[in-house]
Amino acid sequence: MSSDDGSRGSSEASGVDEDGGIDSERIQALDGEIEEDRIDLELERIRERRTNPEKNFMVNTVIPRTFDDYTLVFGLIAGALFFGSVFLASSGLLIENSITLDDTLSGTFLDPSDCVDKTAEIWFQTWVDQDQDLRVHSQNAPATASSIMLLTLSNGSEPIVLGVGGVGDLSLTVGYDSLEDGKYDATIELFVWTDDTSDLFNLTIHELTSRAYSSDASGDVHVAKELTIHLESRETSSLWGAKEIHKKMEKFDDDPRACWTVQQLGGWGWVLMAAEWFGGRETAMLTGGSAQLPPWYMAAVSLGMSIFFLCVQYPLMHRLYHRDTDDLLSSNQMRRLIEKTVASASERLHISPDYESMMIQDRPISVDVYLPYSTTRRTIMTPIDVKGTIIKDVLSEFSVFGEMRPLQLKAVCIDSRQTEVPGWHVFQFSAADLGEVPMAEDYSEFFSSMGRFGNLEEAFHESMARWFKKHDVADYGAAIMADEEAVFVRVIYRPVRRFAYFLFKPTYQHLQGDLRQQLQSDLDDLIDGRALVISARNEKSTLADRAVAGRVEQGSEDLTGEAMVAKRGGIPGALLQNPFMGDILSSVEYVAQKNRSRIDRYGFWGLIVFVWIPFMASGVLVGAMLGLVSRMRFQRVLAACFIGGTAASVTWAYTARGIIEFMERYHAEAFIPFVILLALAFTTFHLRNNKRRRREELFRDSMAFFAGASEA
């Protein structure tokens, strides 16, 4: 290199022009390159931390490494012990008839009411179902002996006798609609013939009473019980002013309750879990209180469920959603990540993005990208395919970096060289694009090229026929074009099998790659070294399908748009990326962001109260999500949910029976449907209002951003 060349090179590197002055534009360019290199290095460090396989518990290793890993292990062990204990107890495989547990704890501070040991005698279990029907069930009758159970109701007039016959324990139900209002003295009797195994189920009530009271056929065992029931019709009003008659039955029984066996407690454990799962903790406790279950057992079942779901689902949600402070992307890092992703996708799509006009809006609720681009001679993708591919690549990067905000992208083709026709693209070039074309009298090369293209097209259709049959898909548009540099192939297919939405597994990426391999093998001689550009898509696919989004939020008529969230695999992804959980999480996140200062100030104690209070959707999981999106420390959220959940379980377990007795005493139970309906209406209105406000903010601001970017 000459001295002049050397001095020129050094001046370019230093930003000094040939006259010795400072080249400000070059210095700015160099500073920009240095800044980009610094951001790229930061992104690679974040990527390395988040993709390090040695830190991924239960994927590449079974050794817990962090506090949330140990919490997950504890939750799995606690769940196995809890559900296993309930299963063993309810199945009768373990001390099925023992009442030691209930008998020992009754009469203590855990259960102030004492129970009576009735394991060695026949007795009656009675309860009123939903304040309407009286249910009677005999206990401990010989399983193979003939039995008759009679129920006599008298209120001063002609007695009403109901009965049922069979083998072993029997059940009887007195419907509220079969009785008039008033007070009834009820006598329950059970007759058992220990030496007789005949089934008395088909006998009429007259035959049952005749056999039961006959001196010749009197039972070997006779057990009786007396109680009082009261039936009253009341006029209630609904929210709309309509009045209706409601009948209510009350049972008065002074006998102490019988001690529950281990098997009975186990069976009621599943009932309590189902009631809490579908109706909340309050429903489960009121159900158990009506059946006179021990309060310590109701609290233990509720607390066992809370521990399992909190310690298993919360660490999974934390792993999916939480990011350390060092892993949060700044606005500059977000822009650089999107620019690099767009550049990589553009090489495959054969488009030319306009980076100077590209605009990014990085806000707490979403990431909005406006991307103008130009087509090239090799562009065969439709605008919707271009948009879907870029969104897919960006969401894939979001998944790596743990970015769970919705992405909205608007890709705009800004040139006029591409006109779209059904199934294909026609490319129009000006003289400036092609240069001057000299006149020639020798047309042999022209006809030779036409012949080669005809052979290429014929071989292409033969190869495509085999490809469609191979993958069991129908041809909805297949075409081929070629020039001196490349061969362009465009294929639109559609699965032909029934229930293809569930059964057709190959993605367009898989089929596109397979098509490339087949065409390169079948058309290798005819392609003759030219580039092979392929586009294949499912005719029934949507933008969300092309983008491989984990969750999609659609706009409305007034607020148009389509926001997509990065797809995450495994159990955490399945938990949070279904529409139901996604709506809950996004709404809670929106509320947390709007009240960040309040949550930061009262977060721990406020979270305890939120989980504790008897309000709908205020369980440990919702509390954990609230603490998670407000970026509280894992240990603080776990402790707050434990304290609040335990307080709620104990409070409801020891007040459920008292609440029921109080309402029965003052006839206030008629207000329960009104209060529940009012709370449900308020909760529904609050959730829908938050969801509406978030959706308006999400799409309204994005529409304004895209409109401003288009005008600019």
| CATH number of the CATH domain containing 506 | 3.30.300
Alpha helices in 214-330 (DSSP H): 262-290, 295-321
Q: Burial, 469: exposed, middle or buried (Cβ in 10 Å; 0-12, 13-18, 19+)?
A: exposed
Instruction: Identify whether 84 is part of a domain.
Output: no
Instruction: Identify whether 581 is part of a domain.
Output: yes
Same structural domain for residues 537 and 572?
no
**Among 253, 255, 256, 237, CA closest to 245:** 237
Rounded CA separation 535/541 (Å):
14
**Among 368, 365, 367, 403, CA closest to 590:** 365
DSSP conformational letter for 619: S
Same structural domain for residues 479 and 578?
no
Q: How far is CA 649 from CA 273, 315, 391, 611, 663, in A?
A: 13, 22, 46, 10, 21
Q: What is the CATH number of the domain that holds 197?
A: 2.60.40.2150
- Long-range contacts formed by 568-573: CB under 8 A, 24+ apart: 568/320, 568/399, 568/404, 570/59, 571/316, 572/316, 572/317, 572/319, 572/320, 573/320
Share of the chain above pLDDT 90, in %: 11
Mean pLDDT along residues 388-409: 86
Question: Rounded mean pLDDT of the chain?
Answer: 77
Domain finish residue from 541, 572, 606: 541
Domain finish residue from 239, 255, 271: 255
Instruction: Identify whether 208 is part of a domain.
Output: yes
Tell me the pLDDT band of 81, cut-offs 50, 70 and 90: very high
Q: At 44, is the secondary structure helix, strand, or coil?
A: helix
Tell me the pLDDT band of 74, cut-offs 50, 70 and 90: very high
Same structural domain for residues 201 and 124?
yes
pLDDT of 151 reads 92
Rounded CA separation 232/221 (Å):
35
Share of the chain above pLDDT 70, in %: 73
pLDDT of 540 reads 63
Tell me the pLDDT band of 428, cut-offs 50, 70 and 90: very low
If one counts the domains in the chain, the total is: 3
Same structural domain for residues 594 and 479?
no
| pTM, 2 dp | 0.56
Instruction: Identify whether 644 is part of a domain.
Output: yes
Same structural domain for residues 534 and 568?
no
Q: Which two tokens stand for residue 499?
A: 């229930």
Does 439 have pLDDT greater than 50?
no
Same structural domain for residues 504 and 568?
no
Instruction: Identify whether 182 is part of a domain.
Output: yes
**Among 390, 427, 396, 397, CA closest to 412:** 390
pLDDT of 583 reads 67
Does 464 have pLDDT greater than 90?
no
Instruction: Identify whether 298 is part of a domain.
Output: no
Mean pLDDT along residues 275-301: 80
Tell me the pLDDT band of 444, cut-offs 50, 70 and 90: very low
Same structural domain for residues 135 and 220?
yes
Structure confidence by residue, pLDDT tens digits, 592-628: 666 566 666 777 888 888 788 765 455 787 778 777 7
Same structural domain for residues 481 and 570?
no
Q: What residue numbers bound the domain in which 614 lies? A: 564-711
DSSP conformational letter for 560: -
Structure confidence by residue, pLDDT tens digits, 164-217: 999 989 999 888 788 888 899 999 999 999 888 888 888 888 888 988 888 666
Beta-carbon contacts of 446 under 8 Å, excluding residues fewer than 6 positions away, are none
DSSP conformational letter for 363: E
Instruction: Identify whether 573 is part of a domain.
Output: yes
Same structural domain for residues 573 and 536?
no
Rounded CA separation 353/414 (Å):
10
Rounded CA separation 117/259 (Å):
6
Domain finish residue from 526, 541, 556: 541
pLDDT of 349 reads 86
Rounded CA separation 707/387 (Å):
18
Same structural domain for residues 509 and 569?
no
Rounded CA separation 291/663 (Å):
16
Contact (CB, 8 A) for 495 and 541: no
Q: How many CB atoms lie within 10 A of CB 496?
A: 12
Beta-carbon contacts of 384 under 8 Å, excluding residues fewer than 6 positions away, are 543, 546
Structure confidence by residue, pLDDT tens digits, 624-663: 877 777 778 888 889 988 998 898 888 888 876 666 556 5
Structure confidence by residue, pLDDT tens digits, 520-566: 888 888 877 788 888 777 766 655 556 566 677 777 767 777 777 77
CA–centroid distance for 20 within its chain: 66
Structure confidence by residue, pLDDT tens digits, 332-348: 899 999 999 999 999 88
Tell me the pLDDT band of 426, cut-offs 50, 70 and 90: very low
Same structural domain for residues 534 and 609?
no
Same structural domain for residues 498 and 569?
no
Tell me the pLDDT band of 59, cut-offs 50, 70 and 90: low
Instruction: Identify whether 584 is part of a domain.
Output: yes
